[in-house]
Amino acid sequence: MSRLIFTFIALFSLAGCVNLNSVSLTQIPDDRSNLISAEAHDWLFLGLTSNNDFVDEAIDNLKSKCEGGKLQGILTKHQTTAYLLVFKREVIASGYCHKA
Amino acid sequence: MYKLMLMSAILLLGACARVDYVQLGDIDQSQGQLTPISVKVSQFAIEMAAVAEVGRHVATNSAARSQSQEIRDLLALINMGPRTGNPVFDDTYAENILDQLYQQCPSGNITGIRNIREAKTYGPVSGEIVRIDAFCIQSGN
């Protein structure tokens, strides 16, 4: 019996279902030689949280990877992965960095 | 009475944040120092069907309970369909957001515009938020 329960818990915990909440893309540049990406996420128990700070983290991470340059063609994905009672919210951003 | 107090406490203490949409714009860090600017507008929203449901649980007699259930079903039908967050009473609340952004960056050199549609929810009540974050390019640096 305990084995069965363990199997169910393992199945539910590992089998995350992903919801793609939003996608956006900006103008793609001619020079596409330097693709950079960044992501930020947070974990929620029962979907409860009091802040959305992880969104700002993603932007800071992306910005820091192209200091003094231009970031264009930014693809932004906002997705949520649902595990058993736990949710992972993610912002994944990638773009082309151009430095003169 | 105890039920009502318990529900009120849950609603007041159980504030939850939600993100619906995130969009990042191009970021130009080659023109000078970037100063973060932000504009946030919020509109009060309420899930009327959920309020009617709370009313149904709080109602002491069966007639009132039944009436609350009918109201709840009717409100749920009226608000049926695809939507982002709870319905708001004013759909123009985010219209002046661009002017507010320019007020924070009079030079108009704005880069890295991020559109974030989010909300703070308190049970059936929520603040439906539109947030625009950006960077103002400080020219001359």
The pLDDT value given to residue B141 = 46
The pLDDT value given to residue A57 = 92
**How far is it, in rounded angstroms, from Cα B23 to Cα A24?**
6
Interface of A with B in 59-98 (CB under 8 A): 59, 62-63, 66-74, 76, 78, 89, 91, 93, 95
Tell which residue, A28, A36, A21, has the closest CA to residue B84. Answer: A21
Domain ranges in chain A are 16-99
Residue partners of A64: CB distance under 8 A and separation at least 6: none
Tallying the residues shown for chain A, one arrives at: 100
Q: What DSSP string describes chain A?
A: -HHHHHHHHHHHHH-PEEEEEEEEE-PPPS--S-EEEEEEEEEEETTB-S--THHHHHHHHHHHTTTTSEEEEEEEEEEEEE-SSEEEEEEEEEEEEE--
Read off the pLDDT of residues B7-32 as tens digits, 9 standing for 90 and up.
666 555 567 999 999 999 999 999 98
Q: Is the Cβ pair A55, B20 closer than 8 Å?
A: no
Tokens at B19, concatenated: 């993100």
Is B6's pLDDT higher than 70?
no
The pLDDT value given to residue A21 = 93
Is B2's pLDDT higher than 70?
no
How near does any CA of chain A get to the CA of B25, in Å? 6
Tell which residue, A44, A54, A49, has the closest CA to residue A92. Answer: A54
Read off the pLDDT of residues B77-100 as tens digits, 9 standing for 90 and up.
888 888 888 888 888 999 999 999
Q: Does B40 touch chain A (CB under 8 A)?
A: no
Interface of A with B in 42-61 (CB under 8 A): 47-52, 55-56, 58-59
Mean per-residue pLDDT pooled into runs of 10, chain A (100 residues): 77 77 94 94 88 90 93 95 90 93
Tell me the ipTM for this assembly. 0.81
**How far is it, in rounded angstroms, from Cα A57 to Cα A46?**
22
Q: Is the Cβ pair B19, A70 closer than 8 Å?
A: no
Mean pLDDT within B46-50: 83
Q: Does B133 touch chain A (CB under 8 A)?
A: yes
The pLDDT value given to residue B9 = 60
Asked if B101 and B39 count as a contact pair (C-beta separation under 8 A), the reply is yes
* DSSP symbol at B77: H
Inter-axis angle of helices B2-13 and B48-58, to 10 degrees? Answer: 150
What b/e readout covers B85-94, taking b as 16+ CB neighbours within 10 angstroms?
A: bbbbeeeebb
How near does any CA of chain B get to the CA of A71, in Å? 5
Mean pLDDT within B28-53: 90
How far from A29 is each of A24, A71, A72, B11, CA to CA, in Å? Answer: 16, 9, 6, 48
The pLDDT value given to residue A63 = 92
Read off the pLDDT of residues B86-136 as tens digits, 9 standing for 90 and up.
888 888 999 999 999 999 998 889 999 999 999 999 888 899 999 999 999
Asked if A17 and A80 count as a contact pair (C-beta separation under 8 A), the reply is no
The pLDDT value given to residue B64 = 84
SS3 call for B103: helix
Tell which residue, B50, B71, B47, has the closest CA to residue B127. Answer: B47
What amino acid is encoded at B87 in this protein?
P
